Structure 1
Amino acid sequence: MAAATTGATDPSPIVQTRPASTADEPRPLPCVVLLASPGMGHLIPLAELARRLAVDRGFAATIVTLTNLSDAAADAAVLSSMPASVSTAVLPAVALDDLPPGVGFGTLMFELLRRSLPPLHALMGSVAGPGPAAALVCDFFGTAALPLAADLGVPGYVFFPNSFTLVSVMRRLAELHDGAAPGEYRDLPDTLRLPGCVPLRHAELPDGDWRQDDPLAWLPEGFLERTKSRGLAVAGWAPQVRVLAHPATAGFMSHCGWNSTLESLASGVPMITWPLYAEQKMNAAILTELTGVALRPAVSREDGFVANDEVAAAVRELMEGEKGRAVRQQARRLQEVAARARSPEGPSWRALAKVAGKWKAGLRNGD
């Protein structure tokens, strides 16, 4: 993720691209505005929703991204593949330099979206072009835009493509907060313990500032040179869907984010789980213990760290072992399930058709 823009130094108007209208269109297409918070994991699902609305449901769509915290080149690479009836808009940077140092990521994102409401309001007045605005769709960081949509008479929706495990995590965190002692974390009389989380001493943690501008700095010394004839290291955002769909891809070590999980299953690729944060540990448990499409490296050390030989053993098992064979077969079965869900008679197709029908009915009825 790119560094935050600390000041609104560019007062230029919102940047927009619009599809050209065609002469044989009987009337303007209804337009859905999709507000994406920064980050590829947020943009890609909304972009795919815009694609499906345009290609399958007869809508125009405008995908709105932000300047702050965004990688403009990466965003453009994703959005360049959109169909002609999907346009894009970029909201200008807003000032964030008054926020306290070390502000939490979630707080930063919610505040960024809140401060972006004035340019979004200006955009909403013209973004639908000749067609009526059918809905404003945001992800869960952009919920501050829902009252704005209501003020403009546009239905507002939250697009939440995560697994329900994240809902469970968020609810549990709220319960933990309600039962916690007052004050800050540093004031707690004892270590805060969460199930499945091993406390680490500060000395055991890597230096987070060490060569932080180099995305490959965490690799062992000489790793790239030793492996250059056998593999490829990609420092930027990789076209993951295309990589997973390639017949040469036989396994995927995943952090178990829900986007990556669904993309892997849609291609029938089995996984090795390496969860990091949020609900990913719960996703890893679902993949390994419930659905059987993934293996997890064993933890043999008392301190909870996974040794390199355990990672190697998991890879060998996935590629060659009996457990790996069962996991590969189950991944192929779930690939078929995913394909049926997306087919014209499948639940995903029908769910989107229902929402699209509701939006179009609302326009006809003036709701």
Structure 2
Amino acid sequence: METTKSHIALLASPGMGHLIPVLELAKHLVSHQSFKVTVFVVATDHASLANTHLLQSPADSGDLLDIVLLPFIDVSDIGGPSVSFIATIVTTVLRSMPFLRSEISKMEFRPTALVVDLFGTDALEIADEYNMLKFVFIASNACFLAVMLCTPEIDRKEIDEHVKNRKPLHIPGCKPIKFEHNLDVFFMDTYDPFYQGYVEAINKMSLTDGILVNTWDELEPTTLKALRETKKVPIYPIGPLVRPIEKSVFGNEILAWLNKQPKQSVIYVSFGSGGTLSAQQVKELAWGLELSQQRFVWVLRPPTENDAAGTFLALGNGSDATLDYLPDGFPARTQDRGLLVPMWAPQVEVLSHPSIGGFLTHCGWNSTMESIVNGVPMIAWPLYAEQKMNASMLTEDIGASIRVMAVESDAAVGREEIRSVVRKILVDRQGRNIRSRIKELKDNAANALAKGGSSYNSMSQVANICIQHLKTKASGS
């Protein structure tokens, strides 16, 4: 293979929320820059329907895109079910490093650059070994990045005031962050090994050649301006990167059902690839949907107690066992206006369907971007990680959603609240106003990605840096 073409290596951490944006970045580098791209996927112990489909979908990229599944990593020794999914991800990625190093060392055409996510910063030393450029890809928004980059410098007294006295946290470029919206890491002791590892990862990010962010200038202008003014590390907003609509054998029965529904009449309910609800909350959600008298498609998973990310690393392959957790008679009573989908649905294809009028979402950033790109107003129901920050942005800053109440407390969101927000988004004037705002954001996002747009130009900058680095290496200087 010729060595005059830039070769980019990407490392995808476990979990659909990490894999999807990395694959889209890879396909973007192939289709828009004609780069050679290798995606290294840290293997987990499942091969779900959705994951298998995703890993097969880039076949049209020809020999420019390779996907390498790193060997399965056994992390059963780190603890039982009480171990957080984040700790599992961190351990899995760390133990994958020898396999990643081995794969790169065997390559005849070594990568020009290595791109990792927040969980892959330990791989940056491998990039140093082989004189590769180093980039971090944050598959979230600029405000989340700003909070991360500021963490090592925030005065501990300010954090104590934030945690103990519930005073808002002030991050340059972001609106004051309320206590109930912040990341769990702020509630940890600074001597906690996880907190120290988090800070170490942030410090490594600051020493890279740049950070790519799945947002765009026009969506978060103030935050991106503040990030650039710190001059810690170059920032490249390259989003929104979302999966394109694809023809697939998966989910055809869902689309067939949607074809029979009126335009913008259906609420799509999904809590992402990993989100789960308690048994009580599943019942309340069912009652709320029924009381709303609106059409719905609900991606349903078995409930879990005290673990909102219960399926992040353990997706199932779909079954109707979840129906056992619904109120008696619910499927029969709602069969004329509702569709229950076990475990997984082709989300982009569903959101792009003209009958979809709203999206009840956990506010994961991938889902948020997919909703905006397809012009679908949202009902924000955050569960874990940075989702509460995302929900606050969507509702209070950019006017793209309404938010369910009682999410911050231990109590379940009640059926009347659910009935109310579903009707607001599908029937009431508030929903029409949000739909109008979403249309603006959809057009805005398309312009950012188009030739000459802000994200197009950012990606071109990154590409030029890689090309120049390759030329410098080739000349031996």
Pair in the same fold by TM > 0.5: yes
Say which of 360, 371, 374 aligns to 1:267.
374
Identify the match of residue 77 of structure 1 among 35, 41, 53. Answer: 53
Aligned residues: 328
Give the C-alpha shift of residue 271 in structure 1.
Answer: 0.5
- Choose which of 358, 363, 384 in structure 2 pairs with 1:256: 363
| Change beyond 3 A, Cα 1:323–1:148 | same
Which residue of structure 1 aligns with residue 180 of structure 2?
196
Q: What do residues 140-183 of structure 1 show as CA deviations (whole Å, max 9, x unaligned)?
A: 11111111111122222211121133245557877899569xxx
Task: Provide, for residues 215-262 of structure 1, a one-character-per-residue CA deviation record: whole Å limited to 9, x for no partner.
Answer: 566543443343333232232332212211111111101111111111
Q: Tell me which of 331, 339, 344 is aligned to 1:224.
A: 331
Moved more, 158-167 or 58-67: 158-167
Aligned equivalents of 1:29 and 1:171: distance in 2?
A: 33
Q: Which runs of 5 or more structure 1 residues have no equivalent in the other structure?
A: 1-20, 181-189
Report what 1:97 is aligned to.
76
Say if 2:143 is the partner of 1:155. no
Question: Separation in 2 of the partners of 1:299 and 1:104?
Answer: 24
Task: For 1:66, give the aligned amino acid.
Answer: V
Secondary structure, in 3 states, of the residue corresponding to 2:112? strand
Q: 1:70 to 1:365 in 2, by over 3 A?
A: farther
The aligned counterpart of 1:313 is 420
SS of equivalent residue, structure 1 residue 133: coil
| 1:355 paired to 2:462 | yes
Residues 9-40 of structure 1 show CA distances to partners (whole Å, capped at 9, x for unaligned) of: xxxxxxxxxxxx8xxxx766432111101111
Asked if residue 122 in structure 1 is aligned to residue 102 in structure 2, the reply is yes
| TM-superposed deviation, 1:291 | 1.1
TM-score w.r.t. structure 1 length?
Answer: 0.78
The residue identity in structure 1 corresponding to 2:180 is: G
Q: Does 1:109 align with 2:85?
A: no
Percent of matched pairs sharing the same residue:
35
Contact 1:38 1:69 in 2 (8 A): no
* Distance in 2 (alpha carbons) for counterparts of 1:88 and 1:53: 14
Tell me how far 1:322 sits from its aligned partner. 1.3
How far is the alpha carbon of 1:298 from its aligned partner?
4.2
Shift in Å at residue 344 of structure 1? 0.5
Q: Which of these residues, 18, 31, 45, is aligned with residue 42 of structure 1?
A: 18
Say which structure is richer in helix. Answer: 2
Amino acid at match of 1:208: E
CA 300–77 in structure 1, closer or farther in 2 if over 3 Å, else same: closer
Deviation string, structure 1 residues 271-317 (Cα, Å, up to 9, x no partner): 11111122211211211122111112345999754211211111111
Show the counterpart of 1:67: 43
User: How big is the shift at 1:334?
Assistant: 0.8
Aligned partners of 1:216 and 1:261: how far apart in 2? 27
8 A Cα contact 1:166 1:279, kept in partner: yes
| Alignment partner, residue 395 of structure 2 | 288
CA contact (8 A) 1:318 1:324 kept: yes
Cα distance in 2 between the residues matched to 1:150 and 1:27: 19
Q: Distance in 2 between matches of 1:176 and 1:103?
A: 28
Counterparts of 2:21 and 2:114 in 1: how far apart (Å)? 15
CA contact (8 A) 2:4 2:470 kept: no
Find the aligned partners of 2:77 and 2:409 in 1 and give their Cα distance. 43
Give secondary structure in 1 for the equivalent of 2:356: coil
Name the structure 1 match of 2:124: 146
Asked if the contact 1:169/1:279 (under 8 Å) is kept, the reply is no
C-alpha distance in 2, partners of 1:231/1:290?
32
After superposition, the CA RMSD in angstroms is 3.5
Separation in structure 1 between the aligned mates of residue 391 and residue 135 of structure 2, nearest angstrom? 29
- 8 Å CA contact retained: 1:293, 1:331: yes
SS in 2 for 1:53: helix
- Aligned partners of 1:30 and 1:132 also within 8 Å: no
Structure 1 Cα separation of the partners of residues 130 and 395 of structure 2: 46
* Cα distance in structure 1, aligned partners of 2:446 and 2:87: 37
Question: Does residue 88 in structure 1 map to residue 88 in structure 2?
Answer: no
Q: Which amino acid aligns with 1:281?
A: K
| Partner AA of 1:260 in structure 2 | S
Do the aligned partners of 2:361 and 2:378 also contact (CA within 8 Å) in 1? yes
- 1:233 partner SS: strand
Q: Distance in 2 between matches of 1:170 and 1:153?
A: 27
Match of 1:5 in 2: none
Secondary structure of 1:241's match? helix
Report the equivalent of 1:240: 347
The higher relative CO (CA closer than 8 Å, separation ≥ 6) is in 2
CA contact (8 A) 1:297 1:313 kept: no
CA distance in 1, matches of 2:74, 2:408: 46
The match for 1:345 is 452
CA distance 1:134–1:283, change in 2 (3 Å): same
Per the alignment, do residues 168 and 358 of structure 1 end up closer, same or farther by CA in structure 2, a change over 3 Å counting? Answer: closer
Change (3 A) 1:156 1:221: farther
